[in-house]
Amino acid sequence: MSALLCLVSFALCFWAGSRSLVKGLAALLAVGYVYGIVRANLPETFSHFIYDAGVLGLYLSLWLHPIRLPNYSEVISLKSWTAVLVLWPVIIFFVPLQDPLIQLVGLRGAIFLLPFLLIGAGLKDEDIYKLALWLAVFNLIACAFAGAEFFMGMERFFPKNEVTRIIYQSNDVTNSRAYRIPAIFANAHAYAGTMVATMPLLFGAVFQKQRKLLYPILLALGLTAALLGVFISATRTNFIAAAILIIVGTFSIRSKYASLLGWLLILSVIGWLVSGEGRLQRFTTLLDTDLVRDRLSISINMNLWEVITKYPFGNGLGGGGTSIPYFLRDRLINPITIENNYAAIAIEQGFIGLVLWILFILWFFTRKVSIKQDPWRIGRNLIWYSSATSFALGLIGIGLFTAVPQTSLLLLSMGWMIARPSVAVRSHIMEHEGRTFKLRPAESDLVASSKSTVV
């Protein structure tokens, strides 16, 4: 059955991706949303690859129907960075430090989803709006399942087995030892992380010109479901990320008062729900400095310099942080348990791999986010803060590059943010205001030749 579902996932994403990029991404995200609950109820070997099969289907559709990337200087640099971040783990893969199957799982974690950076760069603003509508629907479905688990118990949806072990170990919500709610995801962190990743796109889409009367309502409900999901999941790190986006988003609203009032109404409803239920208030433990300090000491349990010194060339792909399926764990050589994404990169890809990622992160967060007249300015700014928070919290967690479907959404958003508005749109806006529009060299070539590169 799990092998059949892999084929269905592959075929669905290939078919949808062949019709349009947005439909392909929507199909893949649909698979990613239900991946956790399907895998939990079908604990077979191939069930671990249902999402991977969908990604391969989307990649194949894009190979047969290539997307055209704008020839901006930032996008050209992004292509180079993506190639470098993929090439180095491929080289490491041929260093036999771990079992070949472990190395293969580690290679998947290191490079498999990186092309979403380029896919995001190929998305137009109209595509992002359509994708946000799909995300709103998916968030509402996830919230409905989360509510059912909250009131009826998780046992009805997630049987106890090796796959769901981490879910049933996370019973630290209030004194009643209640569980963190995973909704339809692999665990509570995957649920909340995905909700946070959708917030910038939903928030930005809400402030676009209304296409149909129901669209703004749907987007607002999807955004509300995302915020509520963060509290239902009871994950503190994602609460921090959501709180930052709430603050930045609130102070970024410069449009009609109705928009601000609507946003404040959403926050008021969420605040009212949270204040009346203790199980939604696990984030208050962040006020306990001793608990936070102990938690940090667990995550940063190995000094980064110590890791680099002990494993200058790494411990092999998959040997230091990548989530290994339970049926392959006995093949691990010198397994290392660590909850720090950067230490994990150093362990698996060595000092060079860590330096490459640090340089890429510095390059990305020093790019100009948007122009003042960009209608998606708020969305792009929120993506910048969301991405920065995700990479910062990577110091006290693991799975930043392998979460389903959070990682795909994160990289997709980053790629779209880098691409920025089209040259024609920016030029038109500036000329309309009687100002000179200065183009970068690569952008001048684009205007002159109206050509695009193909990925």
Tokens matching residue 370: 């948007």
What pTM value is reported for the model? 0.86
Instruction: Output the DSSP codes for 365-393.
Output: TTS----TT-TTHHHHHHHHHHHHHHHHH
d(CA 132, CA 145): 20
d(CA 444, CA 438): 9
pLDDT tier for residue 401 given thresholds of 50, 70 and 90? confident
Question: What confidence score (pLDDT) does residue 338 get?
Answer: 73
Q: Which is more confidently placed, 311 or 381?
A: 381
Instruction: Output the DSSP codes for 136-166.
Output: HHHHHHHHHHHHHHHHH-GGGTS--SSTTHH
Question: What confidence score (pLDDT) does residue 256 get?
Answer: 63
Q: Which of these ranges, 6-20, 135-149, 363-377, has the smallest mean pLDDT? A: 363-377
> Comparing C-alpha atoms, which of 245, 210, 213 is closest to residue 227?
245
Sequence-distant (≥ 6) Cβ neighbours of residue 213 within 8 angstroms: none
Yes or no: say if 395 and 299 are a contact pair by the CB < 8 Å rule.
yes
**Letter for the amino acid at 191?**
Y
Q: Which is more confidently placed, 98 or 421?
A: 98
Mean pLDDT of 149-173: 88
Question: What confidence score (pLDDT) does residue 213 get?
Answer: 79
pLDDT at 423 over 50: no
d(CA 410, CA 73): 21
Quote the mean pLDDT of the chain: 83
The backbone region for 80, taken as left when phi is positive above 0, alpha when psi lies in -120 to 50, beta otherwise, is: alpha
Rounded alpha-carbon distances, angstroms, from residue 422 to 79, 126, 265, 304: 18, 12, 34, 41
Question: What confidence score (pLDDT) does residue 211 get?
Answer: 64
pLDDT at 435 over 50: no
Question: What confidence score (pLDDT) does residue 451 get?
Answer: 44
pLDDT at 20 over 90: yes
